[in-house]
Amino acid sequence: MRTTGGNQAAETRRRLLDAAEHLFIDRGYEGLSMRQITAHAGTNLAAVNYHFGNKDTMLRELLSQRLDRLNEERLRLLDACEAAGQVPDCETILGVLFVPAMQLGRDPDAGPAFLRLLGRVYSDASPFIRDHLQQHYRPIFGRFFDAFARALPHVPRSELGLRLHFALKSLSGVLATDDMDELVAELSMGQPIPDTELLARLVALVSPALTAPLGTPAQVGKIHRLQQLSQARSIASDRKHTPPAAPAEV
């Protein structure tokens, strides 16, 4: 035990992780450089490689530290619901996904901006983040997929895949909104909304997309009419197009 020096080193580690988290939250994986991280942390450039080996390993540790508790809690909650006996309905399963996220969002131990971190992770396009997500979420995704399948027996499995993809994408899109707070302010129309009601509203938005019946004849009719209208227009006017539009020089 390097008694006093050891604390110093741990402090440096913490500062590196904090700086990396903060920068990742509002710049994403691309746009996150070791020079910026170490500058914000007030350490030398080499500190990351010394303490973590390389950049990606540090990010991986950061993400695990932040996100693992979320999925553990989601699984525990789902277990608790199913242990109660009856199969949970669609809205309950969505609640199981959302409630732990919101609770960790309120918990300072989970990070200063947990929900924004979550949004970044869900929507970041870099292969590194994608891989990490897929690796850590595959088992939990399977569990929830099965739960949804039981709750929605009338939806074919293939269609269910699309719908979940769809619903989760929309959710991550909302979470990744650049300033979440402004959005919540909009939602609450000025006055504070209890988390409970806010979550209920989110569930109310996502749930119909999962439970909705397939396209009805009335809907098909509307689309068909629009298609004809649009094709008619293209034939009528668009064929005077094809100017190659070679524009100005530099």
Partner DNA sequence: GCGTGCGTCAAACGCGCGTATGACGCTAGT
Partner DNA sequence: ACTAGCGTCATACGCGCGTTTGACGCACGC
- Give the DSSP letter of residue 25: H
How far apart, in whole angstroms, are the C-alpha atoms of residue 215 and residue 24? 41
CA distances from 95 to 51, 68, 177, 205 (A): 39, 18, 20, 12
Binding stretches for DNA (CB under 7 A): 1-6, 8-9, 11-12, 32-36, 43-51, 54-56
CB 187 within 8 A of CB 205: no
Closer residue to DNA, CB minimum distance, 37 or 203 = 37
Interface mask toward a second copy for 140-179; x: CB under 8 A: ----------------x-xx-xxx-xxx-xx-xxx--x--
CB 42 within 8 A of CB 15: yes
CB 22 within 8 A of CB 35: no
- Of 43, 3, 40, 50, nearest to 20 (Cα)? 40
Q: Does 92 bind a second copy (CB under 8 A)?
A: yes
Q: How far is the CB of 67 from DNA (least distance, A)?
A: 21
- Which residues, numbered 185-244, are part of the site for a second copy (CB under 8 A)? 186-187, 189, 195-197, 199-201, 203-209, 212-216, 219-220, 222-224, 226-227, 229-231, 233-234, 244
Closer residue to DNA, CB minimum distance, 33 or 228 = 33
Q: How far is the CB of 226 from DNA (least distance, A)?
A: 40
